[in-house]
């Protein structure tokens, strides 16, 4: 497979090198949910706490802060674009007031919310639907000129778990995400990040297969994002709850980092940063210059 060469993102005029920063080689995206029904209760953020939470995440090593106002857990209730924007926009303002240089990603599949968020100061759009749920999304992010996370999903957040039938999982996911990738490229969009969509129209066994074969996504010249933090693949497999899934998350994040994921999206930034920094020292040993 071709090795990914693209490691830089143009975040509204700021050139961000994913190979550098507080956690070298793999960047961390910290999750802030502004929803009352996110699957992980402790990630549900009250508006007045958002700025403090973002400050803490950046101190612990987060490169990006991902803000979401629409719960995408299986079976989550649908809300209007206006309600989603009402949750997201004040949070962006609060974070940028406290941290003017923060790199904020907006987690939305709606073009109108993406546009408002970028106009408010977000520098990235993270679309769980990969452009399949809003026909205006690709044209919007291309016009806005911001990095775009293209994730693989089938159906909607309400129906996705009924679309887990694959004849050959990885080639089919690559084909489907590849079609969207090609469409976006044809529009002239430059900064595309690929997310295989762990947990979205995937069974736990399929999620493990995707992680094992993560290298297959290097067929694209694009950074790869992995989002496994506290997902049901972990806690259902272990017979625990999402609140108890930090250790399992760390294990799978370690595998993702060893497989050279460019970004990991997490609830627990400090633990993720420790994984990356320890892996950095493993790399130093392999190249013969580790300081003990």
Tens of pLDDT, residues 229-283: 999 999 999 999 999 999 999 999 999 999 999 999 999 999 999 999 999 887 6
Nearest residue to 222 (alpha-carbon basis) of 268, 254, 176, 189: 189
The single residue of 231, 270, 279, 283 carrying the catalytic annotation is 231
Answer yes or no: 59 catalytic: no
Phi, psi for residue 266 in degrees, rounded to 5? -140, 155
- On the question of pLDDT at 112 being above 60, the answer is yes
- CATH assignment at residue 272: 3.20.20.20
Among candidate residues 265, 279, 283, 284, the one labeled active-site is: 265
Average model confidence (pLDDT) across the chain: 91
Domain membership of residue 292 (yes or no) is: no
DSSP assignments along 2-22, one per residue:
PPP---EEEETTEEEETTSSS
Confidence of residue 7 (pLDDT cuts 50, 70, 90): confident
Q: In the chain, how many domains are there?
A: 1
H-state helical runs in 168-239: 169-186, 204-212, 232-238
Which pLDDT score, from 0 to 100, does residue 77 have? 78
d(CA 278, CA 285): 11
81: pLDDT strictly greater than 60: yes
**Angle CA(84)–CA(89)–CA(91) in degrees, nearest 5?**
105
In a domain? residue 204: yes
Dihedral of CA atoms 116, 120, 122, 123 in degrees, nearest 10, equals: 90
Residue 106's SS3 state is strand
**What pLDDT band is residue 292 in, cutting at 50, 70 and 90?**
very low
**Residue 182, domain member (yes or no):** yes
pLDDT at 4 over 80: no
What domain range is 198 assigned to? 8-287
User: Distance (Å, rounded) from C-alpha 97 to C-alpha 173?
Assistant: 40
The reported pLDDT for the residue numbered 75 is 66
Token pair listed for 164: 């887990």
Cα end-to-end span (Å), the chain: 35
Give all strands of the β-sheet with 148-151 in edge-to-edge order.
Answer: 192-195, 148-151, 124-127, 104-107, 64-68, 27-33, 263-266, 225-226
Q: Is the pLDDT of residue 291 over 60?
A: no
- pLDDT tens-digit profile of 114-157? 999 999 999 999 999 999 999 999 999 999 999 999 999 999 88
At residue 217, the pLDDT reads 96
pLDDT-based confidence at residue 1 (cuts at 50, 70, 90): very low
22 vs 113: which has the higher pLDDT? 113
In a domain, 2, yes or no: no
Residue 216 lies in a domain: yes
User: 154 in a domain, yes or no?
Assistant: yes
Angle at which helices 269-287 and 246-258 cross, to 10°: 40
- pLDDT tens for residues 20-51? 888 888 999 999 999 875 544 555 556 778 99
Residues comprising the chain, all counted: 292
Residue 1 counted as domain residue: no
Question: Does 2 have pLDDT greater than 50?
Answer: no
Query: What average pLDDT does this structure show over 16-20?
Result: 90
Q: Write down the pLDDT at residue 40.
A: 46
Q: Does residue 3 form part of some domain? A: no
* Known catalytic membership, residue 218: no
**Mean pLDDT in residue range 165-188:** 97
Identify the band that residue 284 occupies on the pLDDT scale cut at 50, 70 and 90: low
């Amino acid at each position: 497979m071709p090795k990914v060469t693209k490691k830089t993102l143009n975040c509204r005029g700021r050139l961000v090198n994913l190979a550098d920063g507080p956690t070298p080689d793999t960047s961390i995206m910290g999750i802030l949910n502004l929803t009352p029904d996110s699957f992980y209760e402790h990630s549900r953020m009250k508006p007045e706490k958002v700025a403090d939470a973002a400050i803490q995440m950046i101190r612990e090593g987060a490169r990006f802060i991902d803000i979401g106002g629409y719960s995408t857990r299986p079976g989550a209730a649908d809300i209007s674009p206006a309600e989603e924007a009402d949750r997201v926009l004040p949070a962006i303002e609060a974070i940028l007031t406290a941290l003017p240089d923060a790199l904020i990603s907006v987690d939305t599949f709606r073009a109108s919310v993406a546009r408002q968020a970028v106009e408010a100061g977000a520098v990235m759009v993270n679309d769980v639907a990969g452009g399949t749920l809003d026909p205006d999304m690709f044209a919007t992010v291309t016009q806005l000129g911001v990095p775009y996370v293209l994730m693989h999903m089938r159906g909607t957040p309400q129906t996705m778990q009924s679309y887990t039938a694959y004849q050959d999982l990885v080639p089919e996911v690559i084909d489907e995400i590849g079609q969207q990738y090609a469409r976006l490229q044809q529009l002239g969009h430059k900064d595309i990040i690929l997310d295989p969509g762990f947990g979205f129209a995937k069974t736990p066994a399929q999620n493990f297969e995707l992680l094992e074969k993560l290298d297959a996504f290097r067929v694209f010249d694009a950074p790869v994002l992995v989002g496994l933090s506290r997902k049901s693949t972990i806690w259902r497999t272990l017979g625990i709850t999402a609140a108890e899934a930090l250790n399992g998350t760390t294990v799978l994040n370690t595998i993702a980092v060893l497989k050279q994921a460019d970004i990991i999206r997490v609830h627990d930034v400090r633990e993720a940063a420790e994984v990356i920094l320890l892996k950095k020292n493993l790399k130093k040993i392999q190249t013969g210059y580790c300081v003990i």
